[in-house]
Amino acid sequence: MAPNTSTNPSVDVLPTPWTGRFDGDGDEHRRWWQAVAPLTSSAAAGASRPAVVLGFCSDAGVRRNKGRVGAAAAPAAIRSALGPLAFHLDRDVFDAGDVVVEDDSLEEGQQRAGRAISELLDAGNLTAVLGGGHETAFASYLGVAGSNAVRSGKRLGVLNLDAHFDLRDEPTPSSGTPFLQMAQEETAAGRELRYAVVGISEPNNTRTLFDTADRLGVKYLLDEDCSAERVETFVADFVAGIDVLYLTIDLDVLPASVAPGVSAPAAYGVPLAVINAVCRQVAASGTLLHLDIAELNPEFDIDGRTAKVAARLVNTLLA
Ligand SMILES: N=CN[C@@H](CCC(=O)O)C(=O)O
Ligand SMILES: [Mn+2]
Ligand SMILES: [Mn+2]
């Protein structure tokens, strides 16, 4: 596969070197920080589809949704947690830098990130966006919907691991609205959104949100029903009806003890083992087009715990 050498004009901050422990230069000592190359590099790609990491530094969506801001610092925190991990992947990984949402310029930032993602997808990469609040998901959707794969008619599925539907009907887009925005976009394009959610917390979603989900034909599993077996079947059924998958992980799907560094920590949450198994299942499905991980707020993290979990899940997904 061709190396990925373009510098995308939509990106604000160019990639900076990753850091981590140094045990030696040989492959047997390799860690993420030694493996990840800036997208501007001319490093040769291997046999597997290359992965490209892109940061989406945004607080605007959570602020508009009346949450606890701080997710704009998440891309740097996830890179820091990924850097020291041992690198066992059979693919090249590139860093494209960050799209930065200044102040309240959310819609413009989502459009720019979307263009960057489409371009990376059309160049043959597996794209991994590090959010940002869950407004990151609408940027991801714009990128995926604008890609050649979806424009050529492939059936898109959106799988969200989240305690919340994020289907709010509000005049202003936020971290609480991205999947309703997607549904509206799909309708305008003469399609229906195929949207599934794993981990919905009943007490944290109003009747209106459940009604909206039902009206849109959203498939979901409540957090209390997320045994490993049920989740595996649910994901397998969903993936069987699509051609390409966009996976989005809102870290508040995990219990607050595992993921304290989020805007809305979960009292119940889906166990990390189950969420990690979904990531393995999705990675092995052959359908994964694009992924993102959202809602990390380093300000409320404890000992980098949530950032480490985010890094672990990204590692699983790209393996
Ligand atoms: N992306 C976050 N969405 C949730 C937040 C809930 C909360 O702040 O308690 C929502 O809007 O429902
Ligand atoms: Mn959530
Ligand atoms: Mn969410």
> How confident is the model at residue 32, as a pLDDT?
98
* 50 CB near ligand 1 (under 6 Å): no
CA dihedral 60→65→68→73, nearest 10 degrees, is -30
* 64 CB near ligand 1 (under 6 Å): no
The atom number, within ligand 1, closest to the CA of 295 reads 1
Mean pLDDT by 10 residues, the chain (319 residues): 55 94 98 95 67 98 98 98 98 97 97 98 98 98 98 98 99 98 97 98 98 98 98 98 98 98 98 98 98 99 98 98
> How confident is the model at residue 248, as a pLDDT?
99
> How confident is the model at residue 9, as a pLDDT?
76
3-state secondary structure of 185: helix
* 176 CB near ligand 1 (under 6 Å): yes
For residue 136, give the nearest of 152, 163, 160, 153 by alpha carbon. 160
For residue 52, give the nearest of 117, 140, 138, 136 by alpha carbon. 117
> How confident is the model at residue 260, as a pLDDT?
98
> How confident is the model at residue 10, as a pLDDT?
84
Q: Report the largest interatomic distance among the alpha carbons of the chain, rounded to a whole angstrom.
A: 56
* 115 CB near ligand 1 (under 6 Å): no
Structure tokens at 148: 């050649």
The residue written with tokens 């198994």 in the block is: 277
> Are the C-beta atoms of 118 and 99 separated by less than 8 Å?
no
Which residue owns the Cα nearest ligand 1 atom 6? 264
Which residue owns the Cα nearest ligand 1 atom 11? 176
> How confident is the model at residue 5, as a pLDDT?
43
> How confident is the model at residue 6, as a pLDDT?
52
Please check if 164 is assigned to a binding site: yes
The residue written with tokens 């393996």 in the block is: 319
Listed in sequence order, the residues at least 6 apart from 284 whose beta carbon sits closer than 8 Å to its beta carbon are none
Q: Closest ligand to 64 CA?
A: 1
Please check if 252 is assigned to a binding site: yes
Please check if 166 is assigned to a binding site: yes
* 63 CB near ligand 1 (under 6 Å): no
> How confident is the model at residue 131, as a pLDDT?
98
* Check: complex ipTM more than 0.90: yes
